[in-house]
Chains A and B, each alone.
Chain A
Amino acid sequence: MTGDAHHRDAVARVSGLSKNFDGAEKPALSDVSLEILTGRVTGLVGPDGAGKTTLIRILAGLMKADGGEVEVLGGKPGRDLADIGYMPQRFGLYEDLSVEQNLQLYAEMRALPREDHDETFARLLKFTDLDRFRERLAGNLSGGMKQKLGLACALVKTPRLLLLDEPGVGVDPISRRELWAMVQDLLGDGSETGQMGVLWSTAYLDEAEKCDTVYLLSEGELLFEGDPARLTGSVDDRVVRLTGFEPRRRQVLTRMLDRSDVLDGTIQGRSVRLLLQDKDALKGESGFDVTPATPRFEDGFIERLGGGPKGTSALAERYRRIEPGSGPAIEAQGLTKRFGDFTAAHDVSFSVPYGSIFGLLGPNGAGKSTTFKMLCGLLTPTDGSGAVAGHDLRTSGGEARAALGYMAQKFSLYGELSVQQNLNFFAGAYGLKGSDARAAVERVTDIFELGDRLRTDAGTLPLGFKQRLALAAAVLHEPPVLFLDEPTSGVDPVTRREFWMHINGLVEKGVAVLVTTHFMEEAEYCDEITLIYRSEQIAGGTPDELKAEAAQMADLDDPTMEDTFIAMIEASDASRQESEAA
Chain B
Amino acid sequence: MGGALKATIIKEFWALLRDPKGRITLVLPPMIQLVIFSFAVTLDVNNVDVAVLDRSGGSASIELIQQIEASPSFDEVKLLHSMEEVRRAVETQDVIAALVIEQDFDRDIVRGQPASVGVILDGRKSNAAQIVGGYLTRIAASTGAVVSGSPLASREASAPINWFNPNLEYIWFNMPSLLVIIVSVAGLSVTAQSVAREREMGTFDQLMVSPLTVPQILIGKMIPPFCVGLFNGTVYLIVAPLVFGVPFTGSLALFYLGLSAYLLSLIGVGLFVSSLSMTQQQAFLGSFVATVPVILLSGFSSPVENMPGWLQFITYGNPARYFLELSLGQFLKDMPAADVFGLLWPLLLIATITISAAGWLFRARME
Establish whether residues A425 and B209, one from each chain, have CB atoms under 8 Å apart when the complex forms. no
Interface stretch (choices A398-406, A525-533, A551-559):
A398-406
Q: Of all chain A residues, which has the CB nearest B198?
A: A414
Establish whether residues B211 and A414, one from each chain, have CB atoms under 8 Å apart when the complex forms. no
SS of B interface (majority):
helix
Establish whether residues B15 and A377, one from each chain, have CB atoms under 8 Å apart when the complex forms. no
Establish whether residues A417 and B15, one from each chain, have CB atoms under 8 Å apart when the complex forms. yes
Of the residues A377, A399, A413, A433, contact of B209 by C-beta under 8 Å: A377
Minimal beta-carbon separation of B211 from chain A (angstroms): 4
Establish whether residues A417 and B211, one from each chain, have CB atoms under 8 Å apart when the complex forms. no
Establish whether residues A428 and B201, one from each chain, have CB atoms under 8 Å apart when the complex forms. no
Give chain A residues whose Cβ lies under 8 Å from the Cβ of B243.
none
Q: Of all chain B residues, which has the CB nearest A429?
A: B210
Of the residues B201, B202, B209, contact of A401 by C-beta under 8 Å: B209
Interface stretch (choices B4-12, B73-81, B231-239, B327-335):
B4-12
Establish whether residues B11 and A378, one from each chain, have CB atoms under 8 Å apart when the complex forms. no
Give chain A residues whose Cβ lies under 8 Å from the Cβ of B3.
428, 431-434, 437
Establish whether residues B15 and A414, one from each chain, have CB atoms under 8 Å apart when the complex forms. yes
Establish whether residues B4 and A431, one from each chain, have CB atoms under 8 Å apart when the complex forms. yes
Establish whether residues B203 and A413, one from each chain, have CB atoms under 8 Å apart when the complex forms. yes
Does B349 reach chain A (CB closer than 8 Å)?
A: no
Q: Of all chain A residues, which has the CB nearest B11?
A: A425
State in angstroms the CA–CA spacing of A474 and B168 once bound together: 63
State in angstroms the CA–CA spacing of A483 and B4 once bound together: 21
Does A408 reach chain B (CB closer than 8 Å)?
A: yes
Interface range for B: 20 to 34
Establish whether residues B4 and A412, one from each chain, have CB atoms under 8 Å apart when the complex forms. no
Does B14 reach chain A (CB closer than 8 Å)?
A: yes
Establish whether residues B201 and A412, one from each chain, have CB atoms under 8 Å apart when the complex forms. yes
State in angstroms the CA–CA spacing of A417 and B207 once bound together: 15
Establish whether residues A425 and B8, one from each chain, have CB atoms under 8 Å apart when the complex forms. yes
State in angstroms the CA–CA spacing of A473 and B10 once bound together: 17
Minimal beta-carbon separation of B25 from chain A (angstroms): 14
Q: Quick one: given A379-B367, A425-B8, A428-B7, are A412 and B208 in contact (CB under 8 Å)?
A: no
Of the residues A378, A421, A434, contact of B366 by C-beta under 8 Å: A378
Minimal beta-carbon separation of A397 from chain B (angstroms): 9
Minimal beta-carbon separation of A333 from chain B (angstroms): 20
Does B162 reach chain A (CB closer than 8 Å)?
A: no
Does B337 reach chain A (CB closer than 8 Å)?
A: no
CB-CB contacts below 8 Å: A36-72 with B: none
Q: Quick one: given A428-B3, A429-B212, A431-B1, are A412 and B11 in contact (CB under 8 Å)?
A: no
Does B205 reach chain A (CB closer than 8 Å)?
A: yes
Establish whether residues B8 and A378, one from each chain, have CB atoms under 8 Å apart when the complex forms. no
CB-CB contacts below 8 Å: B182-231 with A: 201-203, 205-213
CB-CB contacts below 8 Å: A489-512 with B: none
Establish whether residues A421 and B209, one from each chain, have CB atoms under 8 Å apart when the complex forms. no
Establish whether residues B210 and A426, one from each chain, have CB atoms under 8 Å apart when the complex forms. yes
State in angstroms the CA–CA spacing of A410 and B204 once bound together: 12
Give chain B residues whose Cβ lies under 8 Å from the Cβ of A128.
none
Does B88 reach chain A (CB closer than 8 Å)?
A: no
Establish whether residues A483 and B7, one from each chain, have CB atoms under 8 Å apart when the complex forms. no
Give chain A residues whose Cβ lies under 8 Å from the Cβ of B203.
412-414
Minimal beta-carbon separation of B204 from chain A (angstroms): 8
Of the residues B7, B202, B211, B363, contact of A410 by C-beta under 8 Å: B202
Q: Of all chain A residues, which has the CB nearest B211?
A: A402
Does B107 reach chain A (CB closer than 8 Å)?
A: no
Establish whether residues A413 and B18, one from each chain, have CB atoms under 8 Å apart when the complex forms. no
Establish whether residues B11 and A406, one from each chain, have CB atoms under 8 Å apart when the complex forms. no
Does B19 reach chain A (CB closer than 8 Å)?
A: yes
Of the residues B4, B18, B205, B367, contact of A428 by C-beta under 8 Å: B4
Establish whether residues B7 and A404, one from each chain, have CB atoms under 8 Å apart when the complex forms. no
Establish whether residues B6 and A428, one from each chain, have CB atoms under 8 Å apart when the complex forms. yes
State in angstroms the CA–CA spacing of A413 and B367 once bound together: 22
Does A272 reach chain B (CB closer than 8 Å)?
A: no
State in angstroms the CA–CA spacing of A428 and B7 once bound together: 5
Does A254 reach chain B (CB closer than 8 Å)?
A: no
Does A424 reach chain B (CB closer than 8 Å)?
A: yes
Q: Of all chain B residues, which has the CB nearest A477?
A: B211
Minimal beta-carbon separation of A490 from chain B (angstroms): 14
Of the residues A401, A410, A415, A417, contact of B11 by C-beta under 8 Å: A417
Minimal beta-carbon separation of B195 from chain A (angstroms): 14
CB-CB contacts below 8 Å: B4-60 with A: 4, 6-8, 10-11, 14-15, 18-19
Establish whether residues A401 and B206, one from each chain, have CB atoms under 8 Å apart when the complex forms. no
Give chain B residues whose Cβ lies under 8 Å from the Cβ of A380.
363, 367
Give chain A residues whose Cβ lies under 8 Å from the Cβ of B207.
429
Give chain A residues whose Cβ lies under 8 Å from the Cβ of B202.
408-412
Q: Of all chain A residues, which has the CB nearest B16?
A: A416
Establish whether residues B19 and A428, one from each chain, have CB atoms under 8 Å apart when the complex forms. no
Q: Quick one: given A406-B206, A408-B202, A483-B209, are A428 and B8 in contact (CB under 8 Å)?
A: yes
Give chain B residues whose Cβ lies under 8 Å from the Cβ of A425.
7-8, 10-11
State in angstroms the CA–CA spacing of A399 and B211 once bound together: 7
Give chain A residues whose Cβ lies under 8 Å from the Cβ of B363.
380
B1, B8, B211, B213 — most chain A CB neighbours (10 Å)? B211
Chain A residues within 8 Å of chain B by Cβ, number:
37
Give chain A residues whose Cβ lies under 8 Å from the Cβ of B366.
378-379
Does A427 reach chain B (CB closer than 8 Å)?
A: yes
Establish whether residues B7 and A417, one from each chain, have CB atoms under 8 Å apart when the complex forms. no
State in angstroms the CA–CA spacing of A483 and B206 once bound together: 11
Give chain B residues whose Cβ lies under 8 Å from the Cβ of A399.
211
Q: When each residue 416-446 of chain A gets 1 if its CB lies under 8 Å from chain B and 0 otherwise, what string results? A: 1110010011111111111001000000000
Establish whether residues B6 and A378, one from each chain, have CB atoms under 8 Å apart when the complex forms. no
State in angstroms the CA–CA spacing of A430 and B19 once bound together: 26
State in angstroms the CA–CA spacing of A425 and B205 once bound together: 15
Q: When each residue 18-51 of chain A gets 1 if its CB lies under 8 Å from chain B and 0 otherwise, what string results? A: 0000000000000000000000000000000000
State in angstroms the CA–CA spacing of A425 and B7 once bound together: 5
Give chain A residues whose Cβ lies under 8 Å from the Cβ of B6.
428
Q: When each residue 329-345 of chain A gets 1 if its CB lies under 8 Å from chain B and 0 otherwise, what string results? A: 00000000001000000
Q: Quick one: given A431-B1, A431-B3, are A413 and B206 in contact (CB under 8 Å)?
A: yes
Give chain B residues whose Cβ lies under 8 Å from the Cβ of A431.
1, 3-4, 211
Does A546 reach chain B (CB closer than 8 Å)?
A: no
Does A161 reach chain B (CB closer than 8 Å)?
A: no
Give chain A residues whose Cβ lies under 8 Å from the Cβ of B19.
416
Give chain B residues whose Cβ lies under 8 Å from the Cβ of A406.
205-206, 209-210
Does A376 reach chain B (CB closer than 8 Å)?
A: yes
Establish whether residues A427 and B7, one from each chain, have CB atoms under 8 Å apart when the complex forms. yes
Establish whether residues A376 and B11, one from each chain, have CB atoms under 8 Å apart when the complex forms. no
Establish whether residues A429 and B7, one from each chain, have CB atoms under 8 Å apart when the complex forms. yes
State in angstroms the CA–CA spacing of A315 and B216 once bound together: 30
CB-CB contacts below 8 Å: B326-367 with A: 363, 366-367
Give chain A residues whose Cβ lies under 8 Å from the Cβ of B201.
412, 414-415
State in angstroms the CA–CA spacing of A181 and B10 once bound together: 52
State in angstroms the CA–CA spacing of A411 and B206 once bound together: 10
Minimal beta-carbon separation of A53 from chain B (angstroms): 20
Minimal beta-carbon separation of A474 from chain B (angstroms): 9
Give chain B residues whose Cβ lies under 8 Å from the Cβ of A427.
7
Establish whether residues B15 and A378, one from each chain, have CB atoms under 8 Å apart when the complex forms. no
State in angstroms the CA–CA spacing of A413 and B198 once bound together: 9
18 pairs from A and B in contact (CB 8 Å cutoff): A377-B208, A404-B209, A406-B205, A406-B209, A411-B202, A412-B203, A413-B203, A414-B203, A416-B18, A425-B11, A426-B210, A428-B6, A428-B10, A429-B210, A429-B212, A430-B210, A430-B211, A431-B3
Q: Which 10 residue pairs are nearest across A and B when measured between Cβ atoms? A: A428-B7, A412-B202, A402-B211, A433-B3, A425-B11, A406-B209, A429-B210, A401-B211, A376-B209, A412-B206
Q: Which B residues have a C-beta under 8 Å from some C-beta of A?
A: 1, 3-4, 6-8, 10-11, 14-15, 18-19, 201-203, 205-213, 363, 366-367
- 16 further contact pairs, Cβ within 8 A, besides A417-B11, A432-B3: A408-B205, A408-B206, A409-B202, A412-B201, A412-B202, A414-B203, A418-B18, A425-B7, A426-B210, A428-B6, A428-B7, A428-B8, A429-B4, A429-B7, A429-B212, A437-B3
